[in-house]
Amino acid sequence: MTAHTPESRRRRSIRLKGYDYAQAGAYFVTICTQDRACLFGEVVEGEMRLNDAGQMIAKWWTELNRKYACVETDASVVMPNHFHGIIVITHPVGADLRVCPDPNVGAHADALSGAHADALSGAHADALSGAHAGAPLPEIVQWFKTMTTNEYMRRVKNDGWPPFRGRLWQRNYYEHIIRDDGSLDRIRQYILDNPVRWAFDRENPVAAATESEEAWEN
């Protein structure tokens, strides 16, 4: 069996050349801790039990909806040493949120079905006053990584959380463009089932055997 080296795999450039990550669409994102350190809790009998750090990660994920008016978060899971989530960019960068956009416009409109098919309601838009009107995916992910890192560092100092080496998260992250409803449903189910599959997870440092690199496609 070939040795798994997630650090090198995550560090190489994995953005799609020429793709506009600011346009409306849905993206499956995976972010891993440095050295695959298990800092966010543990999996017990197929269920993820978050510690305080894991709850902090989940909190900042929901804050993305308040920070960016163009973002709606979908399914997510905090694992012991990584995070999976679906980010839906509902408006292209620079979109005027005072005008209700047509949800069927955009290269990935099919991925915006169901709960994400409708434009932001007026009440929701008011609650997001002052939020960014649009942002590319790398900026969104970087903000999430920065805010979680900053709070983790504060809690190391003030509350004795376990320290990390160098940085909380690996430098890069994995992302997949969700192109249709079938893919969206498979990825949602993969996220939901992630704790049950932990014994075979490629990011589990003590896994006896690992699943295929993109098992959610099966």
Query: Is 196 inside a domain boundary?
Result: yes
Query: Is 136 inside a domain boundary?
Result: yes
List, for residues 136-172, the tens digit of each pLDDT value: 899 999 999 999 999 999 999 999 999 999 999 999 9
Measured CA to CA, the distance from residue 55 to residue 68 in angstroms comes to 21
Query: What is the dihedral sign for C-alpha 128, 131, 136, 137?
Result: negative
Query: Is 5 inside a domain boundary?
Result: no
List, for residues 167-205, the tens digit of each pLDDT value: 999 999 999 999 899 999 999 999 999 999 999 999 999
Q: 156: part of which helix (H) or strand (E)?
A: helix 137-159
pTM: 0.74
* Closest to 150 measured CA to CA, from 54, 56, 52, 35: 56
* Closest to 26 measured CA to CA, from 106, 143, 98: 106
Q: CA dihedral defined by 188, 175, 77, 80, rounded to 10 degrees?
A: 140
| pLDDT score at 5 | 38
Q: Give, as one character, the DSSP assignment of residue 4.
A: P
Measured CA to CA, the distance from residue 215 to residue 190 in angstroms comes to 8
List, for residues 167-176, the tens digit of each pLDDT value: 999 999 999 9
Q: Give, as one character, the DSSP assignment of residue 213.
A: T
List, for residues 61-100, the tens digit of each pLDDT value: 999 999 999 899 999 999 999 999 999 998 765 554 433 3
List, for residues 92-122, the tens digit of each pLDDT value: 655 544 333 333 333 333 333 333 333 223 3
Under a CB-based contact definition with an 8 Å cutoff, are residues 75 and 187 in contact? yes
| pLDDT score at 132 | 43
| pLDDT score at 170 | 95
Number of folded domains that form the chain: 1
Residue 9's pLDDT band, with cuts at 50, 70 and 90, is very low
Query: Do the strands 41-44 and 71-78 form a parallel or antiparallel pair, or are they unpaired?
Result: unpaired
Query: Is 2 inside a domain boundary?
Result: no
- Which amino acid is residue 209, in one-letter code? A
Ranking 10-14, 41-45, 104-108 by mean pLDDT, the lowest is: 104-108
Residue 171 maps to which CATH number?
3.30.70.1290
Measured CA to CA, the distance from residue 129 to residue 166 in angstroms comes to 36
Its domain, for residue 180, covers 20-207
CA atoms within 13 A on the CB side of 26: 27
Query: What is the dihedral sign for C-alpha 57, 58, 61, 65?
Result: negative
